[in-house]
Chains A and B, each alone.
Chain A
């Protein structure tokens, strides 16, 4: 596998279910991100991890719980979601700008299309 992979690609869940989204990057990067992309809305940054530490949480509801066990893996645990949480969830990774010459170039996975019934 190369680049950034996400599983599953599609997920349908009920409001009472618990599920997890997985992201893996094979690029040796130090930072990982979760974004939410809803129809007709701008891309929303949800969480940022640098060297496994969460450095940003953009006022995301607690029903979304991220986990970053190491620099290559990122999870998004989902619990009691609402229908308005249906969206494409994108994972991205980047190298520490201090290493990449100050350029925060992000590489994206294909996304997980989530539908909450």
Chain B
């Protein structure tokens, strides 16, 4: 079945550091890929998405490129802020009406 694997956390970075959170996937079809973010005490919010190979999703300085050849969708940000501290979830949606498949989440802590 479909699955998503993302790097184990927690990840601790200093403010203005470069961020990479790795995500790889296994899917039978041609999935859409998502990154969701969960700030403390809140639900999940869609951060960015990509629906086909080589698409780049971007939002709030975060970027991720859909790489079909490596089945990856790594999340990057050039300069993190304390306010980026949250849990980040990679997810995929295969064709049709199947529910999202989520990774286990990666907790990011950014310190000043």
A interface residues, Cβ below 8 angstroms from B? 4, 6, 31, 33, 42-43, 45, 48, 50, 55-56, 90, 92, 96-98, 101-111
| A92 neighbours in B (Cβ, 8 Å) | 44
Closest B residue to A43 using CB positions: B102
| A4 neighbours in B (Cβ, 8 Å) | 43
Is A43 in contact with B97, judged by CB distance below 8 angstroms?
no
Cβ of B97 to closest chain A Cβ, rounded Å: 5
Cβ of A25 to closest chain B Cβ, rounded Å: 12
| B12 neighbours in A (Cβ, 8 Å) | none
For window 74-112 of B, CB contacts with A under 8 Å fall at 89, 93, 95-100, 102-105
| B99 neighbours in A (Cβ, 8 Å) | 33, 45, 48, 56, 104
**Is B73's beta carbon under 8 Å from chain A?**
no
Is A104 in contact with B97, judged by CB distance below 8 angstroms?
yes
Cβ of A116 to closest chain B Cβ, rounded Å: 19
Cβ of B26 to closest chain A Cβ, rounded Å: 15
Distance of A43 Cα from B88 Cα, bound (Å): 12
Q: Per a CB cutoff under 8 Å, which of B49, B95, B97 touches A50?
A: B97
**Is B69's beta carbon under 8 Å from chain A?**
no
**Is B46's beta carbon under 8 Å from chain A?**
yes
Known: A97-B96, A102-B95, A103-B49. A111 touches B104 (CB 8 A): no
Distance of A23 Cα from B17 Cα, bound (Å): 38
What are 27 of the A-B contact pairs (CB < 8 Å)? A6-B43, A31-B97, A42-B103, A42-B104, A45-B99, A92-B44, A97-B95, A97-B96, A98-B97, A101-B51, A102-B95, A102-B96, A103-B32, A103-B93, A104-B97, A104-B98, A104-B99, A105-B32, A105-B34, A105-B46, A105-B49, A106-B100, A108-B36, A108-B44, A108-B45, A109-B43, A110-B43
| B46 neighbours in A (Cβ, 8 Å) | 105-107
Cβ of B31 to closest chain A Cβ, rounded Å: 9
| A104 neighbours in B (Cβ, 8 Å) | 32, 93, 97-100
Other than A90-B43, A111-B42, give 12 A-B pairs with Cβ distance below 8 A. Answer: A42-B103, A50-B97, A55-B97, A92-B44, A96-B97, A97-B95, A97-B97, A104-B98, A105-B32, A108-B36, A108-B44, A110-B43
